[in-house]
Structure 1
């Protein structure tokens, strides 16, 4: 499920946009996309998405009568939801270049001067968002998603060798066949999330069962694909042999 958020400071325009959007959702996306919040206050939008992590589609006016404009709001939204979809709906076409300087990665920039065209473009944006989100779900089923700063990287499960508790507090190292990442997390949470595909062979290591080549009981080591070696505790290692 996706949620739509609208931030438009003109009450009349916001009401009209809500009406058009509601019609589109009922006709084509009733079980897939819902209206989360419509407001003229950007802080209302930010508060709402901090309380609800459902992936959002944001239709934002640029010239808001508030402490921040729509582009600045988009930048704040992107920090909370790196994967969200942002669409600007505005009369200020000359401000489109600012979206690049703020690095908000807008999906579309819709000009308000033609109501029929706006409705058509909104429908197309919703359709694109739905297809993109479905593709992401399929990707999640095949990949482990690592959040590093404001970026999300997809690492195929088949490529992961192990997770290791980092020397840096509250950090975990993901070691893959051709890459390595350090990110914020806890090994016990990852172990719980991934289930039986991965095994805790040591208090600091969680190995991918599919990539275990050999279990060396004599030296208390697990040999992984590519000859990578992980330590193995006597007690925990019993689950691998």
Structure 2
């Protein structure tokens, strides 16, 4: 179920938002629930960090009168715990819309409170869009690595994962190396081995690699070079079986790209 959140510190406007969200969930029979409506951004953050399911829909007032967090800063914090959530800003200040790019929060929409009929329609459009997008992703659930930790919810396409490695400087910390970002989280590679499909291979006690993202393998030196030129280790113990695994695939990735030696 998609969790919907409202953070608006003006009581009457918050009540209007709640009414419209709840009415639309009921009328359209969407797989959504209003998880929290509040004027306190810290209350929302606490919920998202410790109780949220991830990929929530957030309606945030930009102009929060909180001493430590305005709506944009709140959105940045939400991104730490729910990187794939949907954020919608609602404000009276059209001139602040450019700040959503400055804060790099990837907002879904920026709704101006100039006409509440328009506001209501834009809210409905956002909810409909999220329902459709999440519905499509659920049909492709096997294509995603999803993990909830105490710190965040990780939801990443398998195709976007290059490899996972342990962090030498911190115990029980893992780094997921993606196409365009890295995600650090608490855990062990051993506990994650069964979370991945057949293209992923544990080449070393400190590495699980996506074999579709391998550029080349140096079996003599035990070095695997990925398509982004990062290097992973191949242990002596794993080398023979890994070489046979690659040989059975014709020395190619699943999408038929040759792996050089």
Fold agreement, TM-score > 0.5: yes
Shift of 1:126: 0.6
Kept in 2, the 8 Å contact 1:146–1:183? The answer is: no
- The corresponding residue for 1:191 is 193
CA distance in 2 between partners of 1:117 and 1:49 (Å): 29
- The corresponding residue for 1:56 is 56
Say how many residue pairs are matched. Answer: 224
Kept in 1, the 8 Å contact 2:57–2:87? The answer is: yes
- The corresponding residue for 1:33 is 32
1:141-163 C-alpha deviation (Å, 9 max, x unpaired): 2244699x999753339x97x75
- The corresponding residue for 2:157 is 154
Kept in 2, the 8 Å contact 1:201–1:232? The answer is: no
Aligned-partner SS, 1:120: helix
CA distance in 1 between partners of 2:135 and 2:155 (Å): 16
Shift of 1:7: 0.9
CA distance in 1 between partners of 2:211 and 2:95 (Å): 55
CA distance in 2 between partners of 1:204 and 1:140 (Å): 27
Aligned-partner SS, 2:114: coil
Aligned-partner SS, 2:43: helix
CA distance in 1 between partners of 2:177 and 2:2 (Å): 32
Aligned-partner SS, 2:74: helix
- The corresponding residue for 1:6 is 6
- The corresponding residue for 1:217 is none
1:100-179 aligned within 5 A: 100-144=101-145, 154-156=157-159, 165=166, 167-169=168-170, 170-172=172-174
- The corresponding residue for 2:76 is 75
CA distance in 1 between partners of 2:101 and 2:180 (Å): 30
Kept in 2, the 8 Å contact 1:146–1:154? The answer is: no
CA distance in 1 between partners of 2:38 and 2:4 (Å): 12
CA distance in 2 between partners of 1:180 and 1:94 (Å): 30
Kept in 2, the 8 Å contact 1:7–1:42? The answer is: yes
Shift of 1:44: 1.3
Aligned-partner SS, 2:158: strand
CA distance in 1 between partners of 2:48 and 2:118 (Å): 29
CA distance in 1 between partners of 2:201 and 2:88 (Å): 43
Aligned-partner SS, 1:6: strand
CA distance in 2 between partners of 1:229 and 1:38 (Å): 48
Stretches of structure 2 lacking an aligned partner (at least 5 in a row) = 213-221, 225-231, 246-261
Shift of 1:133: 2.1
Quick one: structure 1 residues 181 and 27, their matched pair in 2 at CA, closer, same or farther if it must change by over 3 Å? closer
CA distance in 1 between partners of 2:175 and 2:145 (Å): 13
CA distance in 1 between partners of 2:105 and 2:60 (Å): 12
